[in-house]
Structure 1
Amino acid sequence: MKNTKDNKKAVKLTLFALTWPIFIEIFLHMLMGNADTLMLSQYDDNAVASVGVANQLLNVIIVMFGFIATGTSILIAQYIGAKQEQDANKISVVSIAANLLFGLLLSFILFIFAPSILKAMNLPPELMESSLLYLRIVGGFAFIQALIMTIAAIVRSHGFTKDAMYVTVGMNLLNVIGNYFVIFGPFGFPVLGVTGVAISTTISRFIGLIAMFMILHYRIKGSLPFSFLKTFPKQEIKKLLKIGIPSAGEHLSYNTSQVAITYFIASMGTIALTTKVYTQNLMMFILLFSIAIGQGTQILIGQYVGAEKLDEAYKRCLKSLKIAILVSLGMAILFSFFSKPLLGIFTDNPEIITLGSILILLTIILEPGRAFNLVVINSLRAAGDVKFPVYIGILSMWGVAVTLSYLLGIVFGLGLIGVWIAFIVDEWLRGLLMLRRWKSKKWKKMSFVQKETEAS
């Protein structure tokens, strides 16, 4: 009995040790985006909307980098659980090379086709020029983010979640300092607006990438076998894509559906578009608790599954889910009480503040549903059940979220409130279906490392 209690305590401490640095790291990533928004709001509301739309597109690209990064994280966690460090290091090397090439390709596409992409977004004419500048600068160097994501996935899966957090702290400080100079122009520095913010973001990410490479070199057990790339690593690429494509497919479906919904919102006018950007910036601070718990749980469950501790994995997901629901609900209620002052940080437009306050009130219903998806989907992926979330995600995001957003927001004239109702229905439907899948325990036979062991 004593040993059981000690084991439970160890697991609980491990979850906390993994989760709190991830929480702070994600918080600071969000702060970087909000720093751009907040500082630009002192410059021009249209600039905020421009950056918001460009970032919506960049989020889709970042998700595509997740094809490799997600597969890397899950495979390394399972290999570490199975005590196969050499295989984990091979996967690390292959993932870095693969995401660099993929990142360079997508960066080139974004730079060349940015005008056509923004025109297809139905962007108001007054936002076009600044959105194009931001998208070309940040998007043209998107390969930097691809490498940061990949190395961070490697480092986190080895349990060094604090290191990635420290790098993010540094990137944020550099970004805020850079924003201050290019937006407010102290000491005679030229005021560059959106262009300057894009340059500041890119430079801070580049310095962050250098720091991540240094951490990778000093932290990972054994030297990474880059010589392994002399021959094409067919088997390792196959493993990464087998996990990564379905896993990132769910994220890609979500972000492309959000682009479609942003298209509907753009037709409602600049006020609606700006309100969406401000409100979702605040909502992300509620969401980050569930994201951090979900990512910490994914690492633990990956290691449990690799070590064939399947009952521990099952219980860990359900415990993490309860924590995520309670915390996200509490934070949503807290934010709803202070919604007007919080929105007032970004704007003094009464129309935006009133509408945004209603949307944050609806978030009390929305966020617990989103907690289901963030925790349970990460758990299913970590266990090797990567296809089911994609199938359900595509059906619900497009069949429910996009369809209802159009019907309620445009056809029935409910505007952004109709869009938020569509979000609520989508998140709860998917979340409950994911929980049912986890409880079915079909994932117990889907471990990638276990399959390899059985085959050999």
Structure 2
Amino acid sequence: MEKTEKKLSLFALTWPIFIEILLHMLMGNADTLMLSQYSDNSVAAVGVSNQILSFIIVMFGFVAGGAAILVAQNLGAKKPLDAGKVAMTSISLNLLIGLLLSFILVIFSKQALNLMDIPSELMGEASTYMSVVGGFMFIQALIMTIAAVLRSYGFTKDPMFVTIGMNIINVIGNYFVIFGPFGFPVLGVEGVAYSTAISRLLGFIALIIILIIRSNRQLPFQSIFRYRKDDVMGLLRIGVPAGGEQLSYNGSQMVITYFIAQMGTIALTTKVYVQNIGMFIMLFSVAISQGSQILIGRYIGAGEIDSAYQRGIKSLKISILISTIAAVIVYTFNQPLLGIFTDDASILEQGAMLLLMTVILEPGRAFNLVLINSLRAASDVKFPVYIGIAVMWGVGVTFAWFFGIFLGLGLIGIWIAFIADEWIRGFFMLKRWNSRAWSTKSFVKQKSAVNE
């Protein structure tokens, strides 16, 4: 199943990941863009719901993230059977976790939204969206895990093609339920929720078929529910701290969204629009970081520490350059881009200022995306969590309240907090990477030493 080493260049791995992430973002933006033609309130309702759902998706990253790293390290150490067993274990574990969290989301959707203190006029649509999409979150758990496994084996194009299909189905579904062609009933937010869920279900089916075909009978499917203690512990040892850092980030973002909710529906809607546009800048760094993680994981598994270090630094430089250029371009065309979503003058004015501040924000984010994934690939997963919790909450949330609420700067104050959080964390991650303290933390190498 494994691809040849010469094909595993950063570019060969990254461009399909870039397209896949772009299409995932387009799926979310398709909901936002098409709903903006229906109601700005609907956009805000879906935006708040997705903030909570994003928090839940992080839970799936515990296992999927651990799988991506352990499969890559095992392949680098020339242990394909162990890599296959880790892959099967991760899929079954995330299925169980996904079913549990889907059940919780359906039962407690309104209670979760009440914690966000959203305006009362948004509650109905937000609750409907979260119940439907949340009820099928176990499908997203499986999609994430299978895609992570395929990428670690070098098959980055397959998840990309599946995502293309999911987007096409989602957009067609949205068109029917929002605009009601041919007499189709206009279902609004509820219809968008079902469209999202159905497209994910079909995407999951496609990924399962691809995994079976790509495996060439080399993956031990018979062991999918036969857990080995070492594999489960390895997944959790890497995945829980790695997911914990992301969990802390999403948790801090939920608190900041709570602050913004107190500013009113206009502020919430502006945040949704600006962050949707900003995601297209961020995806360059996300794609580079994921491609780098695969390569660095293999270097670590093979014991090539210097190659791993150099890969991390080169990827960081590329990411900073590209994200800065992209942010400048986006700000230059801020009015046409924001105008795609709305013609509200206050949103256009505030959004322009926030996109200008994004030019400073995104290079800082590049440090964290690339270097945190690089550290994870080397099994150095605790350091980013400790720093993340301290800075996200001590700086990000605190600054958001101080500048945004206390000083009354509104969304500008919130963006000041975002900038401070990213750059301070980025400084610590660069210092850690340069120290090479991560060079002795490979789980696969430690496991081999114990067995010997």
Whether TM exceeds 0.5 here: the answer is yes
Counterpart of 1:49 (choices 44, 52, 70) is 44
Contact map agreement 1:155 1:220 (CA 8 A) in 2 = no
Q: Which amino acid aligns with 1:214?
A: I
1:231–1:330: structure 2 CA closer, same or farther, 3 Å change rule?
A: closer
Counterpart of 1:96 (choices 88, 91, 111) is 91
- Describe how 1:213-224 pairs up with structure 2 within 5 A: 213-224=208-219
Aligned to 1:5: none
Name the SS of the counterpart of 2:38 in structure 1: coil
Q: Matches of 2:184 and 2:443 in 1, distance apart?
A: 54
1:440–1:291: structure 2 CA closer, same or farther, 3 Å change rule?
A: same
Q: Which amino acid aligns with 1:55?
A: N
TM-score of the two chains, using structure 2 as the length reference: 0.98
- Describe how 1:44-443 pairs up with structure 2 within 5 A: 44-229=39-224, 231-443=226-438
1:337–1:450: structure 2 CA closer, same or farther, 3 Å change rule?
A: same
Q: Matches of 2:166 and 2:151 in 1, distance apart?
A: 18
Name the SS of the counterpart of 2:408 in structure 1: coil
Contact map agreement 2:91 2:224 (CA 8 A) in 1 = no
1:11–1:370: structure 2 CA closer, same or farther, 3 Å change rule?
A: farther
Cα deviations by residue, 1:84-142 (Å, 9 ceiling, x for unpaired): 00001101111111000000000000000011111111010000000000000000110
Runs of 4+ in 1 over 3 A off after TM superposition: 10-13, 229-232
Cα deviations by residue, 1:175-219 (Å, 9 ceiling, x for unpaired): 000000000000000000000000000000000000000111011
- Describe how 1:17-56 pairs up with structure 2 within 5 A: 17-56=12-51
Contact map agreement 2:163 2:203 (CA 8 A) in 1 = yes
Q: Matches of 1:303 and 1:75 in 2, distance apart?
A: 9
Q: Structure 1: any 5+ residue segments left out of the alignment?
A: 1-9
Cα deviations by residue, 1:263-311 (Å, 9 ceiling, x for unpaired): 0000000000000000000000000000000000000000011011110
Q: Matches of 1:330 and 1:170 in 2, distance apart?
A: 30
Q: Matches of 2:117 and 2:346 in 1, distance apart?
A: 23
Cα deviations by residue, 1:382-436 (Å, 9 ceiling, x for unpaired): 0110000000000000000000000000000000000000000000000010000
Cα deviations by residue, 1:151-198 (Å, 9 ceiling, x for unpaired): 000000000000010000000000000000000000000000000000
Q: More displaced, 228-237 or 362-371?
A: 228-237
Q: Matches of 2:344 and 2:448 in 1, distance apart?
A: 61
Name the SS of the counterpart of 1:50 in structure 2: helix
Contact map agreement 2:92 2:225 (CA 8 A) in 1 = no
How far off is 1:13 after superposition? 6.9
Contact map agreement 1:158 1:220 (CA 8 A) in 2 = no
Q: Matches of 1:223 and 1:60 in 2, distance apart?
A: 34
- Describe how 1:436-455 pairs up with structure 2 within 5 A: 436-455=431-450
1:418–1:192: structure 2 CA closer, same or farther, 3 Å change rule?
A: same
Cα deviations by residue, 1:41-97 (Å, 9 ceiling, x for unpaired): 000000000000000000001111000000000000000111100001101111111
Cα deviations by residue, 1:196-251 (Å, 9 ceiling, x for unpaired): 00000000000000000011101125433233256443221111000000000000
Q: Matches of 1:12 and 1:370 in 2, distance apart?
A: 29
Q: Matches of 2:296 and 2:214 in 1, distance apart?
A: 22
How far off is 1:453 after superposition? 1.6
Contact map agreement 2:45 2:125 (CA 8 A) in 1 = yes
1:11–1:371: structure 2 CA closer, same or farther, 3 Å change rule?
A: farther
Identity of aligned residues (%): 64
Q: Matches of 2:91 and 2:152 in 1, distance apart?
A: 14
Contact map agreement 1:264 1:410 (CA 8 A) in 2 = yes
Q: Matches of 1:54 and 1:246 in 2, distance apart?
A: 25
1:222–1:325: structure 2 CA closer, same or farther, 3 Å change rule?
A: same
